[in-house]
A = this chain, B = another copy of it.
């Protein structure tokens, strides 16, 4: 089974170091596959495979430019992760963080109109 039911979501995608590096590289600017492969120091096929995973979970988008495939970050896909993590911020022990998440909660409330 290994990672039951092919869990292909953002959580799984960012579990891989190289994929995280790719996403980080893409924050600077969009890049063609070859570029990424060089930066990662791995083969083009290997890179393509990681890109495929990222594509499938919607973390990157592709644009064809001549014979190149230019990949760009689609950070929206990280939302689920950020939201999930957000649910734990209040459990961090750091005083500063407590205050921080408290403030964030207040803001969230107001954005929801709860005031």
Contacts and interface: CB of A to CB of B under 8 A. Distances in A.
Copies of this chain, complex-wide, total 2
- In this complex, the interface size class of chain A, counting residues with CB under 8 Å from chain B, is 35 or more
Contacts of A110: 103, 106-107
A48 interface: no
A92 B14 CA distance: 16
A111 B100 contact: yes
A85 B85 contact: yes
Interface in A69-103: 73, 75-76, 78-79, 81-82, 84-85, 87-89, 91-94, 99-100, 103
Contacts of A88: 23, 27, 73, 75, 78, 82
Contacts of A66: none
Q: In terms of DSSP, what is the predominant structure of the interface of chain A?
A: helix
A19 to B, nearest CB: 10
Interface in A10-48: 11-12, 14-18, 20, 23-24, 27
Given A15-B3, A15-B11, A100 B91 contact: no
A20 to B, nearest CB: 7
